[in-house]
Structure 1
């Protein structure tokens, strides 16, 4: 016969059979005992708690015999919570690797009480399924300084099996605090967490990320906590040491671990200290915003003052009182220098080198037949160059190729030679720069804004503060934004970009009025004024501010290109503007320019994603960099009069033979050759540096290439301008000196490096520093202030540097 016994009776029988012993226990006493599957021990504790004082209670267990076949289970039963853990405590790391810990310490959560004083009981149940038995030591003690005090440092020690947490209560009148955890030890890696007052408290490596806000840390950690996020006006500060260091950039251990490594894994204790300090109040926010607005509005006031002074000066300088000679273009009175004095302006252009002949021959059907035509027979008078012919008509004339070849290959070029196209056509051509960049800005910015809003939402919902690389020691939240100060400091780019657009608009309107009244200076003198690139530069500066603000909503590895894309745009547009000043007819079209800039941004993204220690990528990029430098150098040297086709190798060999072997003649265009040789040296050196060093920050490396080329071309322009007998007016000189000084200070603050997404979030926080300006702005904010001012000053330099030529005839202004 089969007997069926209900499972309830089985449980009763087991309980009856098992020997249960209950002991009244006391705090701060060591209880050494043995537990087997045959017995179970219950330790009963009681303590008095009060509403106005919170004391922590900590349970510490040490397994004395670690060869037990089964772990010991400890269950702590409280009034409103149950805490259970086993010894040895098994924690898992990467790839599910197991780490046993034989010393375990856990702090009990403290449920709130409404009574002024109350005695609470809790019980520690000890049991095991091991028939051999296991020896252990139990100790229950009170935690000193369980409640943290404002601006008072508290030191403690934590390990993976002995986490620590403390309570903080907001003081009256304090709405925001900063919790700072520091350690002199970089490793082992640890996690700090801010959790609401509730049970259970998630204080182990495998569950600390379940609720609240958390971040990994090595030596520094800081989290800004707002009262509105915690209805109880208090929170727990939890510190957990991780079982492995990969999250903090530490070494990756090989698997499986040896017994010695397992022992070392159990000795991962870390000394830390925690301090809670009050954050800034509303007054500091208001002062920070007023300071930011005041700085940049002062530039508007200064510009308005300059405009008023200029108008007042124009009132006294009545054109009717000026002599006719003062109202028309004047000659510089200079004559072309001798070959020994000025290489590029050496003769009257009646001869051409074999290199020019060789490269330009491909653009004509009669090869060198066009050379039989003299320059006088094809040269246009100045009046003809100012005619109202359209660009398309000019470019479809039968003799246009020969005219271009003869004019552009002269050794002695004036601006009049490269300003032959109709101004109305060129103005429309250069306006395309502005409309294109405006279109790019709209389509680029919309998904960026959407993405960073999503990033910020994820951070706020999950509490994972490793997603964004802030300077946590100076990150002031406002609403949903975690670092409002980093966003506010970008306001300068937008305001100064708008101011530059207004200045350009004023000049544009003045130029149009001068053309309408047929002003001779506007028609015949100075550098041809086309403002499309200036409008594009101002728009790019504004977009740099917007996208930099978007990037700083949540700066990280995946969105760094938002902060640099328009920096490439600005550098490229500045170089194009410098070239356009002396080469208005042959400057690149907007479509070509933006296509090249798009390629640069594309490589920037590839470099960020694939560039780290990827030799193949760096080889490909370096080859492309060098080839692009050579192609651009050839384009600039021959003024576009060359062709990249199947005959290029034959023409190169012919040039080398005729100019280097047969007659060993020097370069025909010495000034251009000097610039291009220096440019190639710089770019080849940068390519070699990238290939050898493989810098982690590829975006900054690419930006450094653009800036180096821009500075080199700008220095060449200034030197050639002075060599040509031109001068720099006082306003332009002041702008140059002011901009150089501001750039110097800006770069100093840029290289402070308060955070870096090239490393892990924990390593990045080692560079965090306190605010240094008004307790609101950090070093990087000051970089934003100064760099926006410096960029604005740089644009003013480009706008005003050739004002001294406004009364000089264009056929007396040198091309270089």
Structure 2
């Protein structure tokens, strides 16, 4: 009974409301005709738009343009309906940007054009379908509101392959287009391109930020600022953009959606917009191009591997033949056949006690001719006395290698192999988390479609498997294979140098563990650079440069170790400095502000001062030696020996090296404080490379000053290394991405492939830098071959 009464009351209420409600005014709207009217809460309009579609392929969806003077408090409500789809919005349109909200009193919407649902295929013939669209307009405002509406046909909706299309958008007027993968047999049979994978290229002359989204052809189409990133692939673009789109992800074709942002924060990460909000009309040029074929993949990979394999044969075999046939073995039995009997330096030490109880060393050196290649045991007893008093190195005389190579070869070899063990340990524990991280990045990108996550060169990023940018990963193969070749060369060279007695007295101590560490570092540079290119961005750039630091430092340490084997920095100290460099690189990426640069410059200057003193005094100076009393003593003794000695350096060559080195480092520090460069890892690498090259030049110059020579083979290696380094720097500076900028700004550097339709400038940089580093290592390996049978007493230290 109660239920019946409740139903009757509800029916009466519904009838009463229907009687009081004003019926909607029905209007038939024609295309390209402007309709203007007024509306309030007592009036409602229903507009019908009818069309007959004869050709599904060329059918263009309607675009509804509407403008009104409605307010935010009482907006105009618009509902557009088709047979199975409906979209709704309101005027004024409120768009929430990253730095505030923006209001627009006009909009343009494209009716959803769901090809799969609306059109039925019967072979190659299309059915004629009557499509009716209804537009409902209403408001809750009791004041009269003006509105103007117009329905237009979208001039271009289906994008053709390799044809440029230009159009405009605004934040309140998004646009989208349709592309279907070609089925043209004449194009497919040519085989010159891959039509099942296409590259979308977008260009614009202005900096207005927008989002480009690739969505499947189903309704609704997400074309608003709030939901454009909800489906498919998407990226932010200002002047240039690109996306590689495979057919297997969109077998029926895809929509290309363009939505202009109300501000530029998403592209520039700043609240400043270059264009007034009311004038944010973005002009866009769109073109879709086919990708390369899989045969192009195979050809590029085979040519790359073939060139490296050819290098193994063309360089490796002649070099092995030369070293076997043209090089005298490092063994005691070949000493008499190679050179005259060496001179041995006998060092006698006379110790006197000064007035303050300190000991000063007065060193008398005499050269005597020995009857055999070995040094008399009494000389070594004297040398042990010299080793006890390190003040000998502070004298003004010219030291020789015999003064700084007194440790047994086995001890030096063990010390050298610590570099290899340390670099292997660092490589394993550093590389595994890196690989895990970048693979996770790649999986997130594949799942979400967020193209801003990785800073690819989208115009030359060729996917393979789950990798979005296979070519930039693969181009690091040169580092790996050339690193392996250098390890092989080092191993064969070590096998031919097994005479410990010979190494104890002749030639520069080889320290093969250091060379092995260099080869491993070159291999790890290839692995970590490839890992970085799986998903390059500002958070993992340090992976690309970490082992470049290692190689630069190892080269510098090896040069110093040649003439200072007993006092050279050990592996723990070296890798401790490298660990500090990596920490600074991380902080420099995350917080490259003025305070960081000031702190870094202070640390750098103090480090330069400390190393300068250690190098100048050949490791004899310690912090506890820094006292006013000792400083006064040195000045008094120098003054009494001659007033000019107070300012005249004891070791002129080392003074010149350290003066130039500090000058270069101070110049780099001044540049850093003036410019505050954002790319701190590259700046740090520049410091390492500058110091290494400076020491390299100094070392070669000093060899010729001391009547030594550099063999032609070493000069050939050096010339090839220099040519590769200069060429590589050219390609490095012509960058295709910039991780220190935003993703949208990075795309402005994107360029098309330059080599084999597969590699860009950065890939060429990988190849050239790998060759350059390999030949640099070969220079270090053969730099002192001219001294291979020279006694330690005849090899000067500088």
Same fold (TM over 0.5): yes
Q: CA deviation at 1:410?
A: 5.5
Q: Secondary structure at the match of 2:167?
A: strand
Residue number in structure 1 paired with 2:61: 57
Q: CA deviation at 1:600?
A: 1.1
Change (3 A) 1:206 1:656: farther
Answer whether contact 2:349 2:361 (CA < 8 A) is retained: no
Q: Confirm or deny that 1:247 pairs with 2:266.
A: yes
TM-score, length of structure 2 as denominator length: 0.90
Residue number in structure 1 paired with 2:191: none
Q: Confirm or deny that 1:288 pairs with 2:269.
A: no
Which of 317, 320, 324 is residue 305 of structure 1 equivalent to?
Answer: 317
Q: Deviations 1:617-660 (Å, cap 9, x if unpaired)?
A: 22211111101000000001111111202743443454455547
Q: Confirm or deny that 1:429 pairs with 2:419.
A: no
Q: Secondary structure at the match of 1:727?
A: coil
Residue number in structure 2 paired with 1:344: none
Which of 750, 770, 773 is residue 768 of structure 1 equivalent to?
Answer: 750
Change (3 A) 1:482 1:52: same
Q: CA deviation at 1:271?
A: 1.1
Q: Confirm or deny that 1:266 pairs with 2:278.
A: yes
For 2:147 and 2:415, the matched residues in 1 are separated by 86
Q: CA deviation at 1:371?
A: 2.3
Residue number in structure 1 paired with 2:225: 205
Q: CA deviation at 1:368?
A: 3.6
- Aligned pair count reads 768
What aligned pairs does 1:165-244 form with structure 2 within 5 A after superposition? 165-172=176-183, 173=188, 174-186=195-207, 188-232=208-252, 234-244=253-263
Q: CA deviation at 1:606?
A: 1.2
**Residue range with higher mean Cα deviation, 625-634 or 30-39:** 30-39
Which of 648, 653, 664 is residue 682 of structure 1 equivalent to?
Answer: 664
For 2:543 and 2:340, the matched residues in 1 are separated by 48
Change (3 A) 1:325 1:427: closer
Change (3 A) 1:648 1:561: farther
Answer whether contact 2:211 2:234 (CA < 8 A) is retained: yes
Q: Confirm or deny that 1:148 pairs with 2:159.
A: yes
Answer whether contact 1:151 1:276 (CA < 8 A) is retained: yes
For 1:319 and 1:244, the matched residues in 2 are separated by 71
Answer whether contact 1:160 1:243 (CA < 8 A) is retained: yes
Name the Cα RMSD after superposition: 3.4
Q: CA deviation at 1:79?
A: 1.9
Answer whether contact 2:409 2:504 (CA < 8 A) is retained: no
Answer whether contact 1:382 1:416 (CA < 8 A) is retained: no
For 2:519 and 2:130, the matched residues in 1 are separated by 71
For 1:167 and 1:45, the matched residues in 2 are separated by 22
What aligned pairs does 1:70-469 form with structure 2 within 5 A after superposition? 70-95=74-99, 97-111=100-114, 112=116, 113-115=119-121, 116-117=126-127, 118-172=129-183, 173=188, 174-186=195-207, 188-232=208-252, 234-249=253-268, 252=271, 264-307=276-319, 309-310=321-322, 313=325, 327-330=337-340, 368-369=358-359, 371=361, 383=374, 399=385, 402-406=388-392, 409=395, 411-469=397-455
Q: Deviations 1:184-222 (Å, cap 9, x if unpaired)?
A: 112x21111111111111111111111111111111011
Q: CA deviation at 1:251?
A: 5.3
Answer whether contact 2:40 2:139 (CA < 8 A) is retained: yes
For 2:15 and 2:688, the matched residues in 1 are separated by 81
Change (3 A) 1:561 1:28: same
Q: Confirm or deny that 1:490 pairs with 2:476.
A: yes
For 2:134 and 2:11, the matched residues in 1 are separated by 25
Answer whether contact 1:27 1:142 (CA < 8 A) is retained: yes
**Residue range with higher mean Cα deviation, 681-690 or 294-303:** 294-303
Q: Secondary structure at the match of 1:70?
A: coil
Q: CA deviation at 1:374?
A: 5.4
What aligned pairs does 1:641-790 form with structure 2 within 5 A after superposition? 641-645=620-624, 647-656=626-635, 658-659=637-638, 663-665=643-645, 666-790=648-772
Change (3 A) 1:68 1:707: closer
For 2:377 and 2:198, the matched residues in 1 are separated by 69
For 1:479 and 1:307, the matched residues in 2 are separated by 39
Q: Deviations 1:305-342 (Å, cap 9, x if unpaired)?
A: 21553377369x9999x998762444699x99xxxxxx
Which of 567, 570, 580 is residue 586 of structure 1 equivalent to?
Answer: 567
Q: Deviations 1:641-689 (Å, cap 9, x if unpaired)?
A: 1120274344345445554798231111111111011111111111121
Answer whether contact 1:658 1:664 (CA < 8 A) is retained: no
Answer whether contact 1:330 1:807 (CA < 8 A) is retained: no
Q: Confirm or deny that 1:539 pairs with 2:558.
A: no
Q: Confirm or deny that 1:472 pairs with 2:458.
A: yes
Answer whether contact 1:498 1:542 (CA < 8 A) is retained: yes
Q: Confirm or deny that 1:801 pairs with 2:792.
A: no
Q: CA deviation at 1:133?
A: 2.4
Change (3 A) 1:618 1:349: farther
Q: CA deviation at 1:106?
A: 0.8
Q: Confirm or deny that 1:815 pairs with 2:797.
A: yes
Q: Secondary structure at the match of 2:32?
A: coil
For 1:591 and 1:365, the matched residues in 2 are separated by 40
**Residue range with higher mean Cα deviation, 268-277 or 13-22:** 13-22
For 1:715 and 1:314, the matched residues in 2 are separated by 27
For 1:15 and 1:226, the matched residues in 2 are separated by 54
For 1:501 and 1:537, the matched residues in 2 are separated by 9
Change (3 A) 1:412 1:710: same
**Residue range with higher mean Cα deviation, 420-429 or 657-666:** 657-666
Change (3 A) 1:746 1:330: farther
For 1:10 and 1:423, the matched residues in 2 are separated by 106
Q: CA deviation at 1:792?
A: 0.3
For 2:201 and 2:376, the matched residues in 1 are separated by 71
Which of 13, 22, 28 is residue 24 of structure 1 equivalent to?
Answer: 28
For 1:14 and 1:350, the matched residues in 2 are separated by 121
**Residue range with higher mean Cα deviation, 696-705 or 40-49:** 40-49
For 2:435 and 2:329, the matched residues in 1 are separated by 52
Q: Secondary structure at the match of 1:721?
A: helix
For 1:394 and 1:32, the matched residues in 2 are separated by 110
Residue number in structure 2 paired with 1:258: none
Q: Secondary structure at the match of 2:644?
A: coil
For 1:55 and 1:349, the matched residues in 2 are separated by 99
**Residue range with higher mean Cα deviation, 415-424 or 299-308:** 299-308
